Amino acid sequence: MGKIFAGHMLGLRLSCCALLPAFLLAGPAMADAQSAGMDKASLSLSVFLTHRDSNTRLDASAGDPGTDVDLENELGLNRSDSVFRVDAFYKFNEAHRIDVSWFDLSRSSSKVIERDIEWNDTLYPIDTAVNSEFDLDIYKVAYTWSFLRKDRNFLGATGGLYIADTGTSLIADSIGAREVTSATAPLPVIGLRGQYFFTQKWSVRASGEFFMYESGDWDGDLVDLYLGVDYEFSERIAVGVGFNSVTFDLGVSKENFTGQLDWGYSGSLVFLRGRF
């Protein structure tokens, strides 16, 4: 996980370094677009084509460690699928804005397991048919202060919350086993966000946010990287494509959820965006 984290941090630095010179070199050609950039808000509706890698361990209430489970390979959850995603922002003025996002990465499956799995206080023996559900709603909210601005281009510092609302359910009727748990992780993140218009209609957007934290309930790290290209085919409507990659490795110690979440998802977005 450390190598993955280091690689994402390098990607964050490179993406931010790429935005900065582009921002500073933005020329007079963008001046004509300045008035069009005074939109106060934006709403983006996307299809998010995701690929997932999820390892989870749920420990017993007495503190005994459970089994590290590859959710895709061992429980049969879909590794790839498409989900609906909503992103929006609101500008208080040219220097200050709030960004929000929501999407649902929940999955379910049924599979005969191929080894013993210790999950919470229950042993699921090999060759048991297990029905599993893993709910995951992602909510993101971030404040951005644009410390560099030129016409419609900006580079800003962000701070906010990455909220993972999770729920798990493992049911094996043949042995009368049912384990249901849930946890909500409000993870504080910081990072950079920017946008550069290389013509009046085409622009590139990028952001990088990360989290490293340790407390009584949570410890671990998170990296969230985004890169996208927008095309504005009218004054108020744009289309585009993007790529979002997220990894998080969290130790959880809650009353109803104690264990380890080593999850990652990445994928492409195709979106329609309106400006107001």
Q: Which two tokens stand for residue 234?
A: 């009218």
Neighbours of 79 (CB within 10 A): 15
What CA–CA distance (Å, rounded) separates 239 from 173?
A: 48
Domain boundaries, the chain: 2-275
Neighbours of 88 (CB within 10 A): 17
Q: What is the pLDDT of residues 42-51, one digit of tens each?
A: 999 999 999 9
β-bridge partners, 269:
48, 242
* Pair type for strands 218-232 and 202-214: antiparallel
What CA–CA distance (Å, rounded) separates 177 from 111?
A: 15
Cα torsion angle, 81, 84, 250, 253, sign:
negative
Q: What is the pLDDT of residues 218-253, one digit of tens each?
A: 788 899 999 999 999 998 999 999 999 999 888 888
Residue 220: the pLDDT is 84
Residue 209: the pLDDT is 96
Residue 38: the pLDDT is 54
**If you classify domain 2-275 with CATH, what class do you get?**
mainly beta
What CA–CA distance (Å, rounded) separates 58 from 63?
A: 10
Residue 254: the pLDDT is 76
Residue 251: the pLDDT is 86
Residues of the chain with pLDDT under 50: 1-37
Does this model's pTM top 0.75?
Answer: yes
